Structure 1
Amino acid sequence: MKPIKVGMLGLGTVGTGVVRIVEGHQEDLVRQIGTAVEISRILVNDVTKNRSISIPQERLTEKVEDILHDPDIDVIVEVMGGLEPTKGYVMEALAQGKHIVTANKDLLALYGTEIMAQAHEYKRDVMYEASVAGGIPIIRTLTEGFSSDRILKIMGIVNGTTNYILSAMSREGAAYADVLKEAQGLGYAEADPTSDVEGLDAARKMTILSRLGFHVNVELSDVSVKGISSVTREDIAYGKTLGYEVKLLGIAERTGDGVSVSVEPTMVRLNHPLASVSGVFNAVYVFGESVGETMFYGPGAGELPTATSIVADLVTVAKNLRLDVNGSQLPLRYQEKKLRSPEQIVSKYFLLLRVADRAGVLARITQIFADYKVSLESVFQHPNASTSHAEIIVITHNATKAGMQQVLEEFGKLDVVHEIRSVYRVEG
C-alpha cells in the first residue's frame, strides 16, 4: 500500500515534535497501520531559517497552495494556531478532500460546529485530541470511553501556566506577581500572559469538553470566566489552614435543569485528587452516572506530549483510510441547550471579609446569611492588633449562586464591612 502522505501547516515547537515522532517511530507506525507515514510538505514562513531538526529544503514551502492543492496529500496536520487565515485553510483543505488533524483549541472552541459540519459534508475526518490537555487522551475518552455512560460533571485543571503559578505560590508562600515573573523567565508564561492568567485559554478548552461530554452546543460566550490575577498568598495560606488548595478549575455540570460551565479559582479540598496536581501538569476529573469518579492526569503541553496526541490522531485517520471509513463519524447531534440560571447553580463558598473589630459585627454578618437562606459550615474570626479591622473567614454549605450574589450585595451596604477580600467556590 502506498504511504500515507501528510502535509503540515506550521513547524514550531509542536510541529517539530510531530516530525520527530513520525520519523523516529516509522517501524511502529507501519506495524499499526500497515504502511508508512510520510510528511511530504511543510508550510513555513521562511524556508531558509535554521531549525533544530534537519529537513530537506525541498519539503518546505512558503505557499499554502502547495499543500492544499496537492492531490497526493491525504492528511493535513494544522499546528500553526490562530483563527485567520487558519480557519480558511482548514475549510479549503476539507473541500479539497483532505483529512484534518489539529491542536487548535481556539479554532475548535469558536468554529468547531461549522468545521465538523463541513467535514461531514465532504466525508472527511477531523481529529483534535491535542486541542485539550496536551498528552492526555481526554477527547477520545469522552467520545469513546464514556459512550455508554451519562456524564454529569467535568472538572479540569487544563492550563499549565496558571497551575504552575498557583502551585508555586502555595509551595513558597510567594506573591502572584513574583511567581508570574518567574514563570515568564522559565518559558511557562508568555510575555503577555492574559489568555492564561485570566482564564480565557481554559474557557476555550472547557467549551470543547462540555460539547463532547454533554452533547449540548456550548459556546465560548456561555462560559463564566474569572482568572487568577486577584488570588493572594493570604488566600492560599488561609485555604491551606482550613484544608484546601486553590486551583484554577474549569467546571462543567449537567443536571435536569440544564448545563453550566465556568472557569474560576476554586478552593479544592486536600483529599480530592485534583488538589495534588502541581506544576505545569493538567488533570481532568469526570463524573459519570454509572462509572462514578474518574480522573485523567498528565502533561498538558510541550513539544512531545502534544505531538504524541497529534500522531495518535494521524494513526486513527490512517486506519480509517485503510478501512475506507473516513468521515463515517456522525456529526455531533446536539440536544437543546438550556443554561442553568444563578438560582439553579449550587455550590459551597469560601469568603474572606475584612470588618470592623468591635462587638456585634459577626452577628450582623451571620444574620444576612440567614436572611438569604445561606447556611454556614464554619466561621473563623482573626483580630488584627495592628489595625482597626478583623478578618472573618466563612465557609458556607451549599448555596445558590444567586443567593450568594445577594449576600455580597448586602455586605457592600454595611459600614462595618471594610472589604469583601475574596470569594471562591469550594469543591471536593
Structure 2
Amino acid sequence: SVGGGIPILRVLHDSLAHEEIESVNGILNGTTNYILTEMKREGADFAAVLSQAQEKGYAERSPEADIEGMDACRKTAILASLISGKRVRASEIPTTGITAITGVDLQYADALHMELKLLGSIRHQRGEIEAIVAPFFIPQEHILAAVHGVYNAVLVHSNHLLDTFYYGQGAGKEATASAVVADMIFASQHANSHIPVNLTEEEARMCSKEETYRRFFVRADASSAAAAAQLFGQDLTEVKVEEIRDEFAFLTGNMSESSFLDQYRALPGGRGYFRILS
C-alpha cells in the first residue's frame, strides 16, 4: 500500500511506462505527516501529538516503524526499484525519522516561509539512483508544502510530462483497506495471467554523497557563529527568529552531502540540521 489510497504503483507501472522518470518526491507516511501538522497547528510537543494520533487510529501502538522513518524508507525503496527497473534495498537508503523534531524547528521553518515534512526523495539520473528519507524544509509555494494531516502525496517528474501530482489519504483503516482491497481485486482479475514487471534482480547503482547536492538549514549554539562562518564561508545566510535566544541558525549554499556532513561535524555546538527541498 505505497502511498496509502493513492494508486501510485499502478500509475508508475502502467500510465507512465513510456516516460523516463527523473525524480520522485513523496510524503509517504500519513502518521508522520499528521504528527508534524498537529505539532505546528496546536503548538504541542511530539509525544502529546503521537498519543493523540494513536487514539484516533492514525498511529500504531508500537509506532517505531512510522516515526523512525522505516515505513517511508521501505516505500521509497519500492518506488526507486520500480522507476529504475533495478533492485534498490531499503538498507541502502539513508533514513532519519521525526522523533527529534521540536517546536523550535517548526518556528524556524515558519520564519523561512517553509513547511517541515518527512519526505522520501528519489532522483534517477545517468543510470544512478539517489534516494533518502528525512525531514525536509519545503518552500510554502511548493505543492508538497500544502499536504497536511493524514494525507499522502507524490510528485513525479518525467522527461515528457514533466510534473504530475498524486494525492490521497495515507493513514487510517479506510485508506489502508482501500489499497489492500484494490490489490486483491487486481490479483483475482488476473489470476491466470502473467503480469510483466519492469524489474530485474540487478542491483541499482546508488549515488555517493559526493554526487548529491542541496542546501541545508543548521542550528547551533550562539557561540558557534564565528566557526560557522569559517567553515561554510560566504554562502552562509543567518536566520533569526525573535523568540529564539542563545542560538545561531543559518542556511548553507548548494553543496555536496559529503562536504556538508564533514563541515557540520567540525562545527562546535551543532544542534541539528535539515535538508532543503529545491
After TM superposition, the score normalised by the length of structure 2 is 0.91
Say which SS state the counterpart of residue 190 (structure 2) adopts: helix
SS in 1 for 2:267: helix
Q: Deviations over 1:22-70 (max 9, x none)?
A: xxxxxxxxxxxxxxxxxxxxxxxxxxxxxxxxxxxxxxxxxxxxxxxxx
Task: Using the TM superposition, give the Cα deviation of residue 289 of structure 1 relative to its aligned residue in structure 2, in angstroms.
Answer: 1.9
The CA distance in 2 between the partners of 1:280 and 1:384, in whole Å, is 30
Runs of 4+ aligned structure 1 residues displaced above 4 Å come to 381-385
With over 3 angstroms needed to count, the CA separation of the structure-2 counterparts of 1:308 and 1:427, relative to structure 1, is: same
Task: Report the counterpart of residue 366 of structure 1 in structure 2.
Answer: 229
Conserved 8 A contact 1:156-1:250: yes
Task: Show the counterpart of 1:355.
Answer: 222
For residues 383 and 177 of structure 1, the distance between their equivalents in structure 2, rounded to whole angstroms, comes to: 26
Quote the residue 2:152 is aligned against.
282
- One-letter code aligned to 2:65: S
Match for 2:151: what amino acid?
F
Q: CA deviation at 1:275?
A: 0.9
* Cα distance per residue 1:306-350 (max 9 Å; x no partner): 3333343344344435xx6x0142462356521111101111111
**In the superposition, relative to structure 1, how do residues 399 and 390 fare at CA in structure 2: closer, same or farther (>3 Å)?**
same
In the superposition, relative to structure 1, how do residues 245 and 407 fare at CA in structure 2: closer, same or farther (>3 Å)?
same
**Paired residue type of 1:423:** Y
How many residue pairs match? The answer is 278
Q: Is the 8 A contact 1:380 1:393 kept in 2?
A: yes
Change (3 A) 1:162 1:328: closer
Partner of 1:400: 256
Which residue matches 1:216?
Answer: 86
Instruction: Specify the alignment match of 1:269 in structure 2.
Output: 139
| Aligned pairs for 1:313-352 within 5 A | 313-320=183-190, 326-330=193-197, 332-333=199-200, 337-352=204-219
RCO greater where, 1 or 2, for CA within 8 Å and sep 6 or more?
A: 2
Change over 3 Å in CA distance of 1:318–1:350 after alignment to 2: same
Q: Which of 8, 22, 40 is residue 152 of structure 1 equivalent to?
A: 22
8 Å CA contact 1:235–1:422 kept in 2: the answer is no
Contact map agreement 1:384 1:391 (CA 8 A) in 2: no
What whole-Å deviation, never above 9, does each CA across 1:207-240 have from its counterpart, x for those lacking one? 1111111212001111111110100100001111
Answer yes or no: is the 8 Å Cα contact 1:228–1:248 preserved in 2.
Answer: yes
Cα 1:382–1:272 change in 2 (3 A) is: closer
Alignment CA distance shift 1:281-1:318 (3 Å): same
| Farther off after superposition, 277-286 or 327-336 | 327-336
- Of 226, 249, 266, the residue aligned with 1:410 is 266
The Cα shift of 1:188 comes to 1.7
CA distance in 2, matches of 1:222, 1:407: 23
Question: Which structure 1 segments of 5+ residues have no match?
Answer: 1-130, 413-418
Residues 252-267 of structure 1: matches in 2 within 5 Å?
252-256=122-126, 258-267=128-137
2: CA distance, partners of 1:140 / 1:336:
22
Q: Who is 1:108 aligned against?
A: none
Matches within 5 A, 1:11-410: 131-256=1-126, 258-320=128-190, 326-330=193-197, 332-333=199-200, 337-356=204-223, 362-370=225-233, 375-376=235-236, 378-381=237-240, 390-410=246-266
Q: Distance in 2 between matches of 1:186 and 1:318?
A: 32
Tell whether the 8 Å contact from 1:349 to 1:396 is kept in structure 2 after alignment. yes
Q: Which amino acid aligns with 1:332?
A: L
> Partners in 1 of 2:229 and 2:3 — Cα distance?
41
Change over 3 Å in CA distance of 1:257–1:425 after alignment to 2? farther
Q: Residues 364 and 381 (structure 1 numbering): CA distance in 2 closer, same or farther, change over 3 Å?
A: farther
Question: Distance in 1 between the 2:102 and 2:243 partners?
Answer: 18
Q: Which runs of 5+ in 2 are unaligned?
A: none
Contact 1:226 1:263 in 2 (8 A): yes
Aligned identity (percent) is 34
Write the distance in 2 (CA, Å) between the matches of 1:257 and 1:411: 35
User: Are 2:220 and 2:270, in contact at CA under 8 Å, matched by a contact in 1?
Assistant: yes
Task: Please say which structure displays the higher CA radius of gyration.
Answer: 1
Q: Decide whether aligned partners of structure 1 residues 330 and 297 sit closer, same or farther in structure 2, where only a CA change above 3 A counts.
A: closer
- Residue 351 and residue 143 in structure 1: after superposition, are their counterparts in 2 closer, same or farther (change >3 A)? same
- CA distance 1:320–1:193, shift in 2 (3 Å): closer
Q: Supply the distance in 2 between the matched residues of 1:301 and 1:383 (Cα, whole angstroms).
A: 36
